[in-house]
Amino acid sequence: MGDGSLSQDEIDALLKGADEVATPSNAPSMDMPQTGAGLSPVERDSLADLVNSSMGTVVHSLTALLGKNVSISNAYVEVKSESAIRGDFGRQYVQVGMDFTGGLNGKNLIVFNLGDAGVISSLMMGDDSGSAPMDLSEAHLSTIQEFVNQMLSSCATQFSDKIGRGIGTTPPDVSVANSAGELRMPGSGELAKITYNISIESMVNSKFYHILELPLASDLARSTMGSGSGMQQQYQQVPQQHVQQQMQPQVGISPVKFPPLGEGLPPGVGPNINLLLDVKLALTVELGRTTMLVKDILGLGEGSIIELDKLAGEPVDLLVNGKLIARGEVVVIDENFGVRVTDIVSPAERLMRVQ
């Protein structure tokens, strides 16, 4: 039109053309689930939450191991190709490989900066200053191996509790990588890389790296997200459950009334319990147990190693007169061992066990 405005026919034609450009026939629909390799954002967040929670528990045993306060936090999960991950590393590192077995199977690789590994090894060998050695000897590498063994074994225990399946570990394998090409990646193709912040009082304020096979990372993430085929299945089930709830008749609900709680003592135990409070009982801390043949016991000597029925990082048992009353973790107080109580039975159960 001469006045510069558009007629209705011209507007309709423009809108039709815009629709054809905005929605080409081969464009994926937003309602269709997207598939591809790697971990979804939800799975990455789930994995980060899982390892953050597990490391938060593991640091207690690592603190006892080093005699210094250890903090591990801010897990950041990435999915990268093997070559891309190698490109992230450019110095000397200490690497420890360790596999998960049983309820979850897969390979892990823990990577520390060489200097951080030196500080950790010095602390474990009794040097409170944490001065990193000029060169890492076999003894130093063995301490790093034990540090990672304690960490991943404790993580496996935490994962087992969360997913309801027992997870074991293989012996750790430690070595020095002088370049990125010497890193023993736990697989080829795409891998999951987790970066942690680690601090050890004023001696270490750095990062270390946890590289996993992608199927293992995916299994860990999905195990904490519940059963089924992931979040999409959960989203699909919600409307159906909502409809079923609407179709069910309303039921009257009233709160449950509980009787007042007592002191937790068994029936028949009254104030006379005070008469027993100064009685001495033998308290024993049990690290673990095993069964051996007589010939094996007779063959024990200096340097013999006895494998117990507990994993590294599991709590020790506190026994009174041979009866379990609590569990705890081993700590070092000055130059003596001690036990920090982490779980204890109720007063009633304790009293019944020691009778």
Per-residue pLDDT, 98: 94
* Residue bearing the bigger pLDDT, 24 or 323: 323
Q: Is 194 found in the same domain as 71?
A: yes
Which domain range does residue 342 map to? 272-301+308-354
CA distances for 71 relative to 105, 116, 198, 255, 286, angstroms: 27, 14, 6, 43, 28
Q: Is 63 found in the same domain as 131?
A: yes
**9 falls within a domain:** no
Do 189 and 214 meet the contact criterion of CB atoms below 8 Å apart?
yes
**202 falls within a domain:** yes
Per-residue pLDDT, 355: 56
pLDDT at 30 over 50: no
Q: Is 159 found in the same domain as 61?
A: yes
**128 falls within a domain:** yes
Q: How far apart are CA 170 and CA 100, in angstroms?
A: 7
Q: How far apart are CA 291 and CA 310, in angstroms?
A: 13
Q: How far apart are CA 58 and CA 154, in angstroms?
A: 6
DSSP code of 342? E
**15 falls within a domain:** no
pTM: 0.56
Q: Is 136 found in the same domain as 73?
A: yes
Q: What is the mean pLDDT of residues 295-310?
A: 84
Question: Which residues 6+ apart lie within 8 Å of 68 measured at CB?
Answer: 123, 130, 200, 201, 203
Q: Is 290 found in the same domain as 215?
A: no
pLDDT at 50 over 70: yes
Neighbouring C-alpha atoms within 13 Å toward the C-beta of 11: 6
Do 339 and 329 meet the contact criterion of CB atoms below 8 Å apart?
yes
Q: Is 216 found in the same domain as 82?
A: yes
**290 falls within a domain:** yes
Strands (E), the chain: 70-81, 93-102, 106-113, 167-169, 173-177, 190-200, 204-213, 283-286, 316-320, 323-333, 336-344
Do 130 and 26 meet the contact criterion of CB atoms below 8 Å apart?
no
Per-residue pLDDT, 20: 42
**27 falls within a domain:** no
Question: Which residues 6+ apart lie within 8 Å of 279 measured at CB?
Answer: none
Question: Which residues 6+ apart lie within 8 Å of 195 measured at CB?
Answer: 75, 76, 78, 207, 208, 209, 210
Q: How far apart are CA 174 and CA 146, in angstroms?
A: 10
Q: What is the mean pLDDT of residues 99-124?
A: 93
Domain termination residue (choose one: 223, 248, 280): 223
Per-residue pLDDT, 238: 43
Range with the largest mean pLDDT of 15-29, 114-128, 268-282: 114-128
Per-residue pLDDT, 161: 85
Q: Is 76 found in the same domain as 177?
A: yes
**35 falls within a domain:** no
% of the chain at pLDDT higher than 90 = 35
Of 319, 322, 341, nearest to 330 (Cα)?
Answer: 341
Query: Tokens in use for 331?
Result: 């700590």
Q: What is the mean pLDDT of residues 49-68?
A: 90
Residue 317 pLDDT class (50, 70, 90 cuts)? confident
Do 112 and 143 meet the contact criterion of CB atoms below 8 Å apart?
no
Q: What is the mean pLDDT of residues 312-329?
A: 81
Do 226 and 51 meet the contact criterion of CB atoms below 8 Å apart?
no
Residue 169 pLDDT class (50, 70, 90 cuts)? very high
Q: What is the mean pLDDT of residues 270-281?
A: 66
Per-residue pLDDT, 44: 92
pLDDT at 328 over 60: yes
Of 192, 186, 216, nearest to 80 (Cα)?
Answer: 192
Domain of 317, CATH number, reads 2.30.330.10
Query: Tokens in use for 106?
Result: 């897969």
Per-residue pLDDT, 266: 52
pLDDT at 106 over 80: yes
Q: How far apart are CA 177 and CA 46, in angstroms?
A: 31
Domain of 56, CATH number, reads 3.40.1550.10
**260 falls within a domain:** no
Of 68, 30, 336, nearest to 200 (Cα)?
Answer: 68
pLDDT per residue as tens digits for the range 244-267: 555 555 555 656 655 555 444 555
Of 115, 109, 110, 112, nearest to 135 (Cα)?
Answer: 115
331 DSSP β-pair partners: 338
Among 132-141, 175-184, 336-345, name the one with the lowest average pLDDT: 336-345
Mean pLDDT of the chain: 78
Among 22-31, 207-216, 268-277, name the one with the lowest average pLDDT: 22-31
- The phi, psi pair for 333, rounded to 5°, reads -115, 110
Per-residue pLDDT, 304: 86
What total of structural domains would you count in the chain?
2
